[in-house]
Amino acid sequence: MSTPSTTEAPTIPCVTVNGEQAPLTDASAHTTALDWLRGRGLTGAKEGCAEGECGACSILVARPGVDAETEWTAVNACLIPVAALDGQEVVTGEGLGSSGDLHPVQRELAVRGGSQCGYCTPGFVCSLAAEFYRPGRTADVADAADAADAEAKRCDHEHGPNGVDLHALSGNLCRCTGYRPIRDAAYALGAPADDDALAARRQAPPPQPRATRLAVDGAEYVRPATLPEALTLLSERPEAQVVAGSTDWGVEVNIRGRRAPLVVAVDRLPELRSLTIGDDVIEIGAALTLTEIERRLAGRVPLLAELFPQFASRLIRNGATLGGNIGTGSPIGDAPPALLALDADVVLASPRGERVVPLADYFTGYRQTVRAADELIRGVRIPVPLAPIVGFHKIAKRRFDDISSVAVAFALEVADGHVVRARIGLGGVAATPLRAVATEQELLGRPWTEETVRSAAAVLAGEGTPMDDHRASAAYRTAMLGQSLLRLFHTHPETQVVPA
């Protein structure tokens, strides 16, 4: 069946929740999935922060998979508009199990003391359930000869012998229980049972995206069926707010009370969801989530592989997109510094056609860019071959799930002991993300020695215009810039040149 055009008579938007269809007759363009679910009596999901930091609102959504037809993906219900779930399948904590028939995740959390006050527990349950159903999670367990062999397969203290990746819970915060019993519950999980309906659901095709139009009280939420439809709509309504994962816009709605008269969703446009790896360029669709990109690239771009685990949390990466992180124009977005170091280009589409803009020329001022009102970011292009020496250094108050005070990305190449290629991207030290051009010039052609690096580090410390704010002082940001290049040098001892 073809996807209906937004110009056809719209059907009533509806969502399948815990196996039952529910029409969105009581929702507006800005109603969050969390508020709508709680209004239906599904109060397991809670509002803890309203900005995607605590995970108390986590729910499961059936989405196109990377390793299976369909995958259960955990998302923040407090950020996503419920209209974005039109035609989709959602499972909440209530839908996983009941007091008389607990889901394996709920049972392990209960018997291992993984809950005290319980406020955050349904969110932990949904995030951990997504990991429980992740395709391939139990492969190591199945291949292990015995318990000792399974234990030996652990990669580090953040991965369990049953294949559980604790980063799945990086966006879930708990004030009172303590994380050890939650980790113990995660590591006690086995494989889904043979008759597990949610596990079986992974083998069937995911729900197809469909054109959506929800108009209430002068505000509209529209999901066009195709890219041409979206571009036509933007040319007619330049004031429209474009959203993909809503990880930024959702905060604006919840915390700052912003209400756009028209929201245009582009997250399911097929033209924005491809990833191609060629001999000369890697092109990444603007609407692919960071989790999808990470898994599809599978380490092929080492600098991005360093970036992804440090980008917010798994819950946020399940919704956030490269197009959105670039499109906001924020000077503290984590993706732009890495993409600047990779010499990336931005592909902009409009009714007039496409144009390609170097990311280094894309940002023009604080949250200002060269993108016209009727243009969409269709994708990002990264030239290959890639520089062999890379590093992404994020300085923040917390290791994970935090906003950068400073972000520095490096991509260098050393040949015959000399720097022949240098790209350095910076975030958090100016009104826009920027290239550290002066430092790059200081490095080029010089021997890759500690003397060279210390000289270049002094230049790097003077790049940008750092400011004092609640995250860090200007002096601290300057010091971190200088230290970052020294850190890169000492983490790549195999490339260092020892002076004669």
pLDDT digit string (tens) for 451-467?
Answer: 999 999 999 999 999 88
Sequence ranges of the chain with CATH classification 3.30.43.10:
212-265
Angstrom distance (rounded) from CA 212 to CA 83: 8
What's the length of the chain?
Answer: 500
pLDDT at 281 over 90: yes
Burial class (CB within 10 angstroms; exposed 0-12, middle 13-18, buried 19+) of 113: middle
Within 13 A of 60's CA, how many CA atoms are on the CB side? 30
Q: Span 187-216, mean pLDDT?
A: 96
**Confidence band, pLDDT 50/70/90 cuts, at residue 500:** low
Choose the weakest-confidence range: 62-66, 134-138, 143-147, 179-183: 143-147
The residue behind tokens 């816009």 is 249
Contact 246, 224 (CB under 8 A): no
SS3 30: coil
Tell me the β-bridge partners of 15: 22
Sequence ranges of the chain with CATH classification 3.30.465.10:
270-383
Mean pLDDT over the full length of the chain: 92
Q: To 5 degrees, how large is the angle CA 113–CA 164–CA 55?
A: 65
**Confidence band, pLDDT 50/70/90 cuts, at residue 4:** very low
Angstrom distance (rounded) from CA 191 to CA 339: 38
Query: Which homologous superfamily is 390-495 in?
Result: CO dehydrogenase flavoprotein, C-terminal domain (3.30.390.50)
pLDDT at 183 over 90: yes
- Other beta carbons less than 10 A from residue 257's beta carbon: 8
pLDDT on residue 7: 42
pLDDT on residue 400: 78
pLDDT, tens digit, for every residue of 382-433? Answer: 999 999 999 999 998 887 788 889 999 999 999 999 999 999 999 999 999 9
The CATH code of domain 14-201 reads: 3.10.20.30
Type of residue numbered 171:
G
The CATH code of domain 212-265 reads: 3.30.43.10
pLDDT at 244 over 80: yes
pLDDT on residue 146: 56
Q: At what angle do helices 450-460 and 474-490 cross, to 10 degrees?
A: 160
Nearest CA to 215 out of 357, 29, 49, 52 is that of 29
Contact 274, 347 (CB under 8 A): no
Sequence ranges of the chain with CATH classification 3.30.390.50:
390-495
Angstrom distance (rounded) from CA 377 to CA 355: 10
Q: Phi and psi (nearest 5°) for 104?
A: -50, -40
**Secondary element (H or E) of residue 440:** helix 437-443
Cα–Cα distances (Å) from 301 to 79, 309, 335, in that order, read 29, 14, 13
Question: 309: which 2 tokens?
Answer: 């685990």
User: Please, what's the b/e burial string for 480-493 (b: 16 or more CB within 10 A of its CB; e: otherwise)?
Assistant: bbbbbbebbbeebe
Pairing of strands 418-427, 434-435: antiparallel
- Other beta carbons less than 10 A from residue 278's beta carbon: 9
Q: Which residues contact 152 (CB under 8 A, 6 or more apart)?
A: none
Q: Phi and psi (nearest 5°) for 148?
A: -65, -40
Q: To 5 degrees, how large is the angle CA 382–CA 383–CA 384?
A: 120
Write out the E strands in 143-183: none
Q: Over 420-433, what HEC string results?
A: EEEEEEEECCCCCC
Percentage of the chain lying above the pLDDT 70 cut: 93
Q: State how far Cα 181 lies from the chain centre.
A: 27
Type of residue numbered 486:
L
Q: Which residues contact 459 (CB under 8 A, 6 or more apart)?
A: 438, 439, 442
Angstrom distance (rounded) from CA 360 to CA 342: 10
Angstrom distance (rounded) from CA 92 to CA 462: 50
Q: Phi and psi (nearest 5°) for 285?
A: -60, 140
Tell me the β-bridge partners of 259: none
SS3 275: strand
Nearest CA to 86 out of 152, 165, 149, 31 is that of 31
pLDDT at 10 over 60: no
**Confidence band, pLDDT 50/70/90 cuts, at residue 308:** very high
Cα–Cα distances (Å) from 93 to 21, 87, 122, 194, in that order, read 17, 20, 5, 21
**Secondary element (H or E) of residue 131:** helix 121-132
Pairing of strands 363-365, 368-369: antiparallel
Question: 240: which 2 tokens?
Answer: 């429209």
pLDDT at 361 over 50: yes
The CATH code of domain 270-383 reads: 3.30.465.10
Q: Phi and psi (nearest 5°) for 134?
A: -65, 125
Angstrom distance (rounded) from CA 333 to CA 327: 10
**Confidence band, pLDDT 50/70/90 cuts, at residue 5:** very low
